[in-house]
Amino acid sequence: MASTCLVHAGSALAQGAPLAGTGDDLLAEIIVTAQRRSEALQDVPIAVSAFSEEALKAARLDSAANLALQVPNLNYSQQLYGSSNFQIRGIGYTLVTTAGDQGVGVAENYAPIDRARITDAEFYDVERVEVLRGPQGTLYGRNATGGVINIITNKPELGTNGGSLTGEYGNYDMVRLKGALNLSPDEKVGFRVAGFYVDRDGTMENVHTGNKIDERSLWSTRTSLRVEPTETFRVTGIWEHFSENDSRYGVRQACINDPGPASVGGVTINSPVARAFLSEGCTQASIYAAGALRGTNNSGATLSGQLATLTGYISGDVNAGVVQPDDLRKMAMSIDPTNDVNSDNYQLSLEWDLNEELSLSSITNHNLDKTIQSNGLPQATTPFNVRPLTPGSVFDDPQIGPSQFLTANNYNVLRQKQWSQEFRLQSDYGGMVDFNLGAFYYKAKRHNDIYFFANGQTLYVKTAVPTAYVDPGRTPDETGHNYYLSHSRYQLTSKAGFGELYVRPSEEFQITLGTRYTHDVKEQPQTPLALLTSGRGLTTGVLQEARFKEWTGRAIAEWNPTKDNMLYASYSRGYKGGGFNAPTTGDPNSAFAPETVDAFEVGSKNTFMGRRLTVNSNGFYYKYNDYQYSVSEGLTTVTKNINTTLYGLELESIFYPLRELGLYFNAGYLKTKVNRGPNNRSVDPYNITGGDPTLVALKNTSIACVGPAAGVARLISAINAGLVPASALVGACPTAAAPNGAFATNFGLPTSFGVVSDITGNSLPTSPKWTISFGAQYDFELMPDWTLSPRADFHYQGSVFGDIYNNQDNKAKGWSNVNATLTLSNPTAQVTIQAWAKNLFNKDAITSVGVNSASLGLTRRLYLLEPRTFGISVTKEF
C-alpha cells in the first residue's frame, strides 16, 4: 500500500515518506543534525525547521528562496547587484558594501559558503534542508546573528547501485531535468553523480527591444566519491559546478516624473534647464499611486543628464516623453539584462572514530565564484542636440555604442575565492556529560567592480575634461575616467574556536553550555572614484584594516517531562563583524562597528493524540546592538550602526485527523523597533527637505542638498535676467571650498545636506509583522499500487518597509501565494507523476522595495513575486 504521512519537515506534508510506527502513530520521525549530532527533530531544544527530500518535492520548494513560504519569520528578498537577503526574525543583510557579512549563514554539508548558489539554482539530490532560527556560532564554522540554512546533499550509498531521473515541462516553454546515479562496486567505495538543468522563457518583457526577459538557462552538477577503507575511517569528496547564462532580473522601476517646480517663492522659472535642475527626478508618491509604473525620472536630476546639459548636448528633461507600460511585467530598458555566473565548490570531509565514544572530523571547503551582470535603464526619447560630437544627433559611446538618445547602463563584475577548514572532536559517552569542540579557519577574497556607463558622462569628459582617459573598449578594463566605477578589493581572515558541553543530571533534564571566540581581520585598499578626473586608470588610497575580537556563547536548559513533551529556555549571544566606510579626514580606517545580539528564547515541543498531532511553539526577545544599515550619500553609500529591539512568537503544527488527511499550520509574529541612540538622526535620501515647504531640494553632479526657498528665488531671478547661467543651480550645494554653498553670501542661499529624520521607534526594513502558512494533503488509494494525492499550500506575508526611514511611499503591501500539486505515485513501479502550479492565482505581488540614490533621481526598485507557473513532471527511480 502506498502511503503518505506528515513528517515534521518544516510542517511540510511529505509525499511517500515512511510511517514512523503503526496504528495511530502517523508522524514520521525526521532525524536532523542541527546540533552537529544525529537527533530526532522533536528532541532538539532550538527553533529549527527541517525538510526532507520528499517534503521539498511534495511542496514544490525548489530553492532556498521558496523556504520562506513554509518557515515562520523567514523572509527572502533580492538586493542590489543580484545579491540575496535571507532574513530570520528581522535579521539579515541589507548592506551595500563589499566588506559586509551575512546575518543568515548558508552552509552546504556544514561548510559556510558566502556566495552559495542555492538562491539561483534549485534543490537537487539533497537529503534534507535545515533552517535554524536564532544566533549560531558555537556549533558552526562562521558566526550568524540571524540563523543558518544548512543543505545536506545525498552522499554515495555503499553497496548499492541505482538512481532516478525526473523530466518536467511547463508554461513559458519550461524544460527541467533532474537526475542522480549511484554506483558502488563494494561496501568500501561509492560514487554518485547528480545534476539538474532548466531552460525557461522570460516572464517579463522589455518593450524597447521587443524581447522577453527574466528567463532561466542554468545547470549544475555534483560529483561525490565516498571511501570507507576501515569501519572507523570515512572519506567523502564533492565537486559541485554551477553555470547560468540568461536574463534573470525580476525587478521593476517605479517613478512619477517630477518636471520640477514652475516657480519658487513666487518667482516663475523661465528656463527649462533651470526647472529640470530643480527636479528631484521622481515625484514623492506611493509605489502604488496611479502612474507610478509609467513614469521615468527627470534627466535633469540624474548625474548623466546634468553633465550632458552642462555641455549643451541636451536641453531640459529629455525623459519627459518616456512612457513605461502600466504593467509590472513590462518595461522599456535600453538593453536586455544579462546574468552570467560560474561557480565551483570543492569539499573534502574526513571522519575518524577514535573509539566507540570519540570521533574526530575535518571539513575542507574551497569555493570559486564569478558573476557578470548588466542591465539598462529607461532610454530618453528626445535626441541629442546637434553639436561637434553628435553629428546627426548621434554619439558613439565606446561602452554603450551609437545612440541618438541619453542612455545609461549598469555593469557589475564580482569575483570571489574562499577557503575554510574546520576540525571537530565530539564525544558520545551517553552518560552525564558529553562535549563537542571545534576549531575553524576561513579566508575569503572579493574583487567587485560596479560600473555605471552613460553617454552623457563620456560627452562631458570629451568636452570639459580632455585630459581624462576614455576607455575605448566595449568591455571596460578599469582604466577609463568616463564611467563611474566602484572598485573594491577585500580580504577577510577569520579564526575561531568553539564548543559545547552537554550535562544531563537526569533523564528528564539537560543543560547545554556553549562558547566561541572569534578573531576577524578585514583588509580593503580604498580606491577613490576616478569619474571625470584627469589621467588614466585607478589610484589606490589608504589600506584600511580592522580587527574584531569577540566572545559569544549560549546556554540552554531543557526539561522532558514525558517522551513526547519538552520545555526549553535559552540565552545566546551572536556576533557579526564590522566593515569599512570611505576614509574620512583623521580617520583613514573609518570602520563601522560589528553587530552583537543578546537573544532570549523559551519554547515547547509536543506530540499528542498518539502522535497524530505535533505542536511546537516559542517566544523570543532580542536586544540587538549596532545593527548595520546602509544609506546613500552622493555617489557612494555609508554604513551606520543603531540599536534595536526585536521580539516575537512562532508556531508550527501538524495534524492527522484521518490516516489519509494531513494538515499543517505555521505562524510567525515579529515586532522590530529602533531604540534611542546617537546615530538615530540622519537625512532620508528620499525626503531631504523633510516636508518643509520653506526648503527647496538642489543637486550638483554627485550630491543633493537643500536651501531656503527665498534664496533660491533670488537666484532664479538672476537666471531669468541672464545675470548667471542656469547651470549655477548645479553648483549651489556645499563643497569643501564652500561649506555653506556657493551662493550663501551673494543670494542669501546657505545650503545643507538636508533635514535630519529621527528613526527612533521605526521598524527594520523587509521585516513583515506576520508570516502565516497552512496547507492540506489527502491520499486516495486508487488501486493496490497507486495513490493519488492532491495538495494545496497557502502563504501570507505582511507589509514591509523599503528602508529604515519607514516612508509610507516605499512600503510594500502584504501579499499571499497559493501553490498546488496533484501527485500520482506507484512505489512498486518506482514511478511518480506530478502536476503542479505555483502562484496559482497569478498574484502580481511586490515582495520588497529599494530606493535609488539622488544621482539616479530617486527611482524605486520593486522586487516581484514570479507569476503563475505550472507544469507536469515524471520521475522514474531505478
Q: Is residue 85 part of a domain?
A: no
577: confidence class by pLDDT, cuts 50, 70, 90? very high
| pLDDT tens string 522-561 | 999 988 889 999 999 998 888 889 999 999 999 999 999 9
8 Å CB contact between 283 and 298? no
Q: What are the beta bridge partners of residue 267? A: 264
Give the Cα separation of 647 and 657 in Å (integer): 33
Q: Is the pLDDT confidence value at 20 over 70? A: no
8 Å CB contact between 479 and 419? no
Task: Classify the C-alpha dihedral 610-614-619-622 as positive or negative.
Answer: positive
Q: Is the pLDDT confidence value at 394 over 70? A: yes
Looking from the CA of 92 toward its CB, the CA atoms found within 13 Å total 25
The fraction of the chain above a pLDDT of 70, given in percent, is 94
Give the Cα separation of 790 and 822 in Å (integer): 4
User: Which amino acid is residue 712, in one-letter code?
Assistant: V
The residues near 829 (Cβ < 8 Å, ≥ 6 apart) are: 785
The residues near 329 (Cβ < 8 Å, ≥ 6 apart) are: 203, 204, 205, 844, 864, 867
Q: Is residue 138 part of a domain?
A: no
Q: Is the pLDDT confidence value at 749 over 60? A: yes
738: confidence class by pLDDT, cuts 50, 70, 90? confident
Q: Is the pLDDT confidence value at 585 over 50? A: no
**Mean pLDDT for the stretch of residues 450-462:** 95
Residues 373 and 238 in one domain: yes
Residue 513: CB atoms within 10 Å: 16
Task: Classify the C-alpha dihedral 274-275-278-282 as positive or negative.
Answer: negative
Residues 261 and 241 in one domain: no
pLDDT for position 30: 67
Looking at the chain, the number of H-run helices and the number of E-run strands are 5, 52
Q: Is the pLDDT confidence value at 586 over 60? A: no
Extract the C-alpha cell encoding 587. 580617520
The domain containing residue 698 runs over which residues?
A: 256-291+294-327+689-754
Residues 221 and 286 in one domain: no
Give the Cα separation of 481 and 532 in Å (integer): 6
CATH (domain of 669)? 2.40.170.20
Residues 415 and 552 in one domain: yes
**Mean pLDDT for the stretch of residues 133-145:** 87
Residues 248 and 276 in one domain: no
pLDDT for position 120: 74
Extract the C-alpha cell encoding 10. 518544516
**Mean pLDDT for the stretch of residues 812-826:** 96
Residue 297: CB atoms within 10 Å: 28
| Residue indicated by cell numbers 517646480 | 261
26: confidence class by pLDDT, cuts 50, 70, 90? low
Residues 401 and 435 in one domain: yes
Nearest to 125 by CA among 161, 166, 167, 158: 166
872: confidence class by pLDDT, cuts 50, 70, 90? very high
Residue 506: CB atoms within 10 Å: 9
* Candidate from 115-129, 199-213, 429-443, 742-756 with smallest mean pLDDT: 115-129
Residues 514 and 581 in one domain: yes
Residues 356 and 419 in one domain: yes
Give the Cα separation of 75 and 274 in Å (integer): 44
8 Å CB contact between 573 and 554? yes
Residues 283 and 175 in one domain: no
pLDDT for position 1: 32
Residues 541 and 446 in one domain: yes
Q: Is 789 left (phi over 0), alpha (psi -120 to 50) or beta?
A: beta
Task: Classify the C-alpha dihedral 867-868-874-878 as positive or negative.
Answer: positive
Torsion of CA 288, 290, 296, 302, to 10 degrees: -60
Residues 266 and 391 in one domain: no
Give the Cα separation of 41 and 60 in Å (integer): 22
Q: Is residue 822 part of a domain?
A: yes
Helix axes 455-464, 303-310, angle to 10 degrees: 40
Q: Is residue 793 part of a domain?
A: yes
| pLDDT tens string 167-205 | 999 999 999 999 999 999 999 999 999 999 999 999 999
587: confidence class by pLDDT, cuts 50, 70, 90? low
Q: Is residue 801 part of a domain?
A: yes
8 Å CB contact between 825 and 790? no
pLDDT for position 17: 35
Residues 310 and 401 in one domain: no
pLDDT for position 588: 55
Q: Which of 734, 754, 774 is the last residue of a domain?
A: 754
Note the Cα 651 to chain centre separation in Å.
25
Note the Cα 402 to chain centre separation in Å.
35
Q: Is residue 585 part of a domain?
A: yes
Give the DSSP letter string of 171-219.
TTTEEEEEEEEEE-SSSSEEEEEEEEEEEE--SEEETTTTEEES-EEEE
Q: Mean pLDDT, the chain, as a whole number?
A: 90
The fraction of the chain above a pLDDT of 90, given in percent, is 76
pLDDT for position 502: 95
Extract the C-alpha cell encoding 416. 570571489
25: confidence class by pLDDT, cuts 50, 70, 90? very low
Q: How many domains does the chain divide into?
A: 2
8 Å CB contact between 282 and 257? yes
Phi (first) and psi of residue 65, to 5 degrees: -60, -30
| pLDDT tens string 46-64 | 899 999 998 899 889 988 8
Whole-number Cα distances in Å, 785 to 14, 123, 567, 821, 829: 18, 28, 42, 20, 8
The residues near 722 (Cβ < 8 Å, ≥ 6 apart) are: none
Q: How do beta strands 126-133 and 147-153 pair?
A: antiparallel
Give the Cα separation of 478 and 152 in Å (integer): 40
Task: Classify the C-alpha dihedral 699-700-706-712 as positive or negative.
Answer: negative
Q: Is residue 105 part of a domain?
A: no
Q: Is the pLDDT confidence value at 861 over 90? A: yes
Q: What angle do CA 182, 228, 162 make, to 5 degrees?
A: 10
Note the Cα 424 to chain centre separation in Å.
30
Give the DSSP letter string of 276-327.
HHT--SB----TTSTTTTT----GGGBHHHHHHHHTTS--S-TTTT----SS
Extract the C-alpha cell encoding 7. 513528517
Burial of 129 (0-12, 13-18, 19+ CB in 10 A): buried
Q: Which of 703, 720, 754 is the last residue of a domain?
A: 754
User: Which amino acid is residue 398, in one-letter code?
Assistant: P
Phi (first) and psi of residue 393, to 5 degrees: 70, 15
Q: Which of 732, 754, 776 is the last residue of a domain?
A: 754
Give the Cα separation of 78 and 151 in Å (integer): 20
pLDDT for position 140: 78
Extract the C-alpha cell encoding 86. 535571507
Does residue 9 or residue 692 have the better pLDDT? 692
**Mean pLDDT for the stretch of residues 295-319:** 93
Burial of 538 (0-12, 13-18, 19+ CB in 10 A): middle
29: confidence class by pLDDT, cuts 50, 70, 90? low
Q: What is the pTM of this model?
A: 0.92
What single-letter DSSP state applies at residue 386? P
Q: What are the beta bridge partners of residue 175? A: 169, 199
Q: Is residue 215 part of a domain?
A: yes
